[in-house]
Chains A and B, each alone.
Chain A
Amino acid sequence: MGDLGLIAQAFVNGIFFGTTYGIAAIGLSLIFGTMRIVFIAQGAVIVLFAYLCYWLFTLLGIDPYLSLIPITLFSLLLGAAFYYGLFKEAAALKDRIGSLLIAVGVMFFLENFMTVVWSPNPRGVVTSYAFYAFSLFGTNLTLTRLIGLLLAVLATFGVFIFLRRTLIGTAVRATSEDVEASTLMGISPNRVNAVAFAIGIGLAGIAGVNLATTYSFDPVYGFTFALMALIALALGGLGNVIGALLGGIILGLLQSLGSYLIGTMWADAICFGLFLLVLTFRPQGLFGRPT
């Protein structure tokens, strides 16, 4: 066993990374729920937004948290554009392989595009306050991680409220359950799908800023991130917004504590092992009801 302070530190880090996995997983959940598309490019898109945040900071001197506004707006628009430009036809097909191939294509395109534009070297956004930290019960909590955590939790509750309290949000949930029945209510699947895609990519925008401000990233970092988001999604259960956030936090804790206590290599193996176990024994997720 290690030092208690370091374990507490790993715990805090795990919760931070977990919430960011969580919001990526909510995006995947919305896109899969409405369109049955596994948007494997989610991680690459998050890294793209991290680079945008990096550019806005290094070229224009815009603070990363201020750049959250243009990046979120841009990511919402990009999400709708992804749907209308790339996935609209494929989403209407019964066969899901087409949409998966498009998502894989988007991922490879973005990875190579980012390599050309920003080089394969790792980047990070280092602000004047990047190393500012609080001491809390013997652990160091950096300001950027604390803000990141708050952003992820706020975004989760924002999406939760949107899905519960607005008519279009209710329509998104209805369409996830039964597309034909929602069509018979006069709900346009295209409208709902575009909204779901926009929010999914909008969350990737927030995750991108979180990534940029707390971590160094490179063009291919996103794939692992997307896999982690998929695991978080499986843990939380499909269509369960709060569950996805909790799934992300469990995964983050497992990875962080696992790395510290057993070793980095083992941590990933444990995460993927858990993924298989959950899919085998609780396919509805830890927080879902059996169907």
Chain B
Amino acid sequence: MANQLLEVKGLDVFYGDAQALWDVSIHVEEEAIVALVGANGAGKTTLLKTISGLILPRRGEILLSGESLTDLSPQEIVDRGIIHVPEGRRLFSDLTVLENLKLGAYVPRARPFFAESLERVFSLFPLLKNRKDQKAGSLSGGEQQMLAIGRAMMAQPKLLMLDEPSLGLGPILVKTIFELISTLHKQKTTILLVEQNVNQALKIAQQAYVLKTGKILMSGRGEELLVNEEIRKTYIGERGIKR
């Protein structure tokens, strides 16, 4: 069995008095793609934010390669190699493409590798190289998503967490983003992927978890869940009806 990179054990997370996650446990193996699917408000983003240290859990433990992250600040967690690309990309739109990438390599662990990381990002996204002095806000939606992922790659992630990378993009760009995720996977990046596009996500994921109202409803191999009757009915069949 491959090594566990990330272990989340029994997380209970609250917003004030309202409980958002109930006893959530997930595992991410090294060099795997793990998908996190579920309806809006199921707690997927909350789980990513808790792993990033933006939200403190009331109970439970998060381990990276066996080391607890519980008492670490978000900055220290980034420095350990967990990089979170938030929903909506959240680029610094007044900063140039290159400045965004520089900040991606802000943490001490990533700084010495700046030049090689930059070269890697520019070879993944040649387009960004041509636009490096342009303001990030002036890029198109697809380019912005590429910059958001490129910025995360600048930090030399051990675990890359992508929150809804295909949201708001047209079909061709969605395909490009999923191809990109496969490429990163082949280059041995471990990925925790939150997606609305359940069908696509389950296709590329080795392991997947289904969250429902803050609890893990189901977990299994991607292709297992893909043929699961209940999943097809609730999350994939629904796509035709949902706008």
Contact = CB atoms under 8 A, between A and B. Distances in A.
Contacts of A167: 102-103, 106
Nearest to B77: A186
A184 B107 contact: no
Chief secondary structure at chain A's binding surface: helix
B90 interface: yes
Interface string A205-248: 00000000000000000000000000000000001000000000
A183 B106 contact: no
Interface stretch (A130-138, A151-159, A173-181): A173-181
A180 B90 contact: yes
Interface string B42-81: 0000000000101000000000000000000111001100
Contacts of A278: none
A239 B94 CA distance: 10
A188 B73 contact: yes
B38 to A, nearest CB: 22
A171 B92 CA distance: 10
A170 B90 contact: no
Given A170-B103, A173-B95, A174-B95, A187 B90 contact: no
B104 interface: yes
B84 A184 contact: yes
Contacts of A239: 94
B95 A170 contact: yes
Interface residues of A, number: 17
A238 B83 CA distance: 30
B86 interface: yes
A183 B103 CA distance: 11
Interface in B79-126: 79, 83-84, 86, 90-95, 99, 102-104, 106-107
B86 A170 contact: no
Contacts of B92: 173-174, 177-178, 181-182
A188 B95 contact: no
Nearest to B80: A186
Nearest to A164: B99
B155 interface: yes
A183 B90 CA distance: 11
A186 B37 CA distance: 26
A185 B103 contact: yes
B73 A184 contact: no
Contacts of A184: 52, 54, 74, 78, 83-84, 86, 90
B54 A187 contact: no
Given A177-B94, A178-B92, A180-B54, A170 B102 contact: yes
A22 B85 CA distance: 38
Contact of B103 (A171, A180, A188): A171
Nearest to A181: B90
Contacts of A181: 86, 90-92
A186 B79 contact: yes
Interface in A181-207: 181-188
A173 B95 CA distance: 8
A183 B86 CA distance: 11
B36 to A, nearest CB: 17
Contact of B75 (A173, A174, A177, A183): A183
A187 B75 contact: yes
Contacts of A177: 92-95
A184 B92 CA distance: 12
Nearest to B104: A185
Given A171-B106, A178-B90, A183 B74 contact: yes
B242 to A, nearest CB: 28
Nearest to B154: A185
Contacts of A188: 73, 75
B86 A180 contact: yes
Interface string B136-150: 000000000000000
Contacts of B90: 178, 180-181, 184
27 contacts: A167-B102, A167-B103, A170-B99, A173-B94, A174-B92, A174-B95, A174-B99, A174-B103, A177-B95, A178-B90, A180-B90, A181-B90, A181-B92, A182-B92, A183-B54, A184-B54, A184-B78, A185-B104, A185-B106, A185-B151, A185-B155, A186-B79, A186-B107, A187-B103, A187-B106, A188-B73, A239-B94
Given A181-B92, A184-B54, A186-B155, 19 more contacts: A167-B103, A171-B106, A173-B94, A174-B95, A174-B103, A181-B90, A182-B103, A183-B74, A184-B74, A184-B83, A184-B86, A184-B90, A185-B78, A185-B104, A185-B151, A186-B75, A186-B79, A186-B107, A187-B103
Interface of A: 167, 170-171, 173-174, 177-178, 180-188, 239
